Chains A and B, each alone.
Chain A
């Protein structure tokens, strides 16, 4: 009996260690986190930020770094403008996505493109504080001293094709998203760091207009 208990304890310990993420432990009070995160997100009407994106190609030992600016305006309006080392603009406005790469311009209705709809939803959910309720993912929340880690695991096959997990790192001091890590099943990942964040500044609608 005693042996069985020890064995059981080891198994439970092993599982709980595996469930944690490096430097993080499972969040103790999930509802407190959810409430605080949602409360801050509800008060956030705009976000302006710079970003640094790094795609890590693990097997090739290569990293592709790009930089740009990010704007968010409630509700459902996002502008991501890459400036280095290439020019690329993406605007999400409600159910439309506008893309300008080089001289090519393209507007896609997310209503007719399920995948774009899901990716659109992830982007907006991450900054709008509703990622925890996205039915396309199962969610786990971890924490350390300075941040929360929300781990999203895709449920649908179409998203699994792109991501194994998406990790959102949220700063404990202001409940803002500091990093998004998109992990692929190949072992490659893309990390977007948001820096120089400004909240609730006046952002003109023209930034998000799609002709």
Chain B
């Protein structure tokens, strides 16, 4: 009996994401998240600032939903040189169409893919969600192949407060999308907590 209790406790501890362990279980509907998905029916252009370690990079990020429902993301310098061209496919797969040699490293591509999947709200599988929260916030925690993508909303589900990508223990990426107009955020920010890597996007109205 003692062993049964011990193993039950261990199971509970291991199955719970410790990053959000202090939160209470809640009920909710993940459909509330959909109104915060980027409405990319038209091509969107963002002025982009990237700070990685002690380097700074700026340019333009073009985001466009293609006829096959994939989302293409092209990041280029102000003078037009393409840094990368990615496709986020509807089935969750990902394709690199172009990337400059200096960025063509597996960890760089993987990090960018995961960061943008978080803000594009990819992988919102309602079968893999755990809803938790406290008096003021509701956390929609989606289990990913590794770690979790969490969307934090106010309890009225009117404000997307922030987004987090976390390991089992702690958030590793925090992101925001703010000042929505017609379903399009004016400002997007992505910030890594374990090393200096920040991406800031400010919409350019064409």
- A interface, CB within 8 angstroms of B: 53, 55, 57, 59-60, 62, 64-66, 80, 82, 85-86, 88, 90, 99, 101-102, 104, 106, 157-158, 161-162, 182, 184-186, 188, 190
Contacts and interface: CB of A to CB of B under 8 A. Distances in A.
Interface string B50-80: 0000001010101010100000101010111
Interface stretch (B29-37, B94-102, B183-191): B94-102
B58 A182 contact: no
A182 B80 CA distance: 8
Contacts of B19: none
A86 B64 contact: no
Given A85-B204, A106-B56, A60 B81 contact: no
A186 B97 contact: yes
Contacts, number: 71
A53 B81 CA distance: 12
Contact of A64 (B45, B98, B205): B45
Nearest to B43: A62
A106 B49 CA distance: 13
Main SS of chain B's interface residues?
strand
A88 B204 contact: no
A32 to B, nearest CB: 32
A88 B78 contact: yes
A202 B163 CA distance: 54
A85 B81 contact: no
Contact of B62 (A60, A66, A80, A161): A60
A124 to B, nearest CB: 14
20 contacts: A55-B76, A60-B43, A60-B64, A60-B72, A62-B43, A64-B62, A85-B45, A86-B47, A88-B58, A90-B79, A102-B47, A102-B49, A104-B58, A158-B101, A161-B101, A162-B100, A185-B98, A186-B82, A188-B82, A190-B79
Interface in B93-136: 97-98, 100-102
A64 B81 CA distance: 12
B117 to A, nearest CB: 20
A184 B82 contact: yes
Nearest to A161: B101
B179 interface: no
Given A85-B206, A88-B78, A186-B98, A104 B49 contact: yes
Main SS of chain A's interface residues?
strand
Contacts of A184: 81-82, 98
A86 B60 contact: yes
Interface residues of B, number: 27
Nearest to A184: B82
Contacts of B85: 186
B80 A101 contact: no
A117 to B, nearest CB: 15
A62 B62 contact: yes
A185 B102 CA distance: 16
A55 B45 contact: no
Interface string B195-206: 000000000111
B98 A85 contact: no
B74 A60 contact: yes
Contacts of A62: 43, 62, 64
Contacts of A88: 58, 78
A190 B59 CA distance: 14
A86 to B, nearest CB: 5
Contacts of A106: 56
B118 to A, nearest CB: 23
A157 to B, nearest CB: 8
A104 B82 contact: no
Contacts of B45: 64, 85
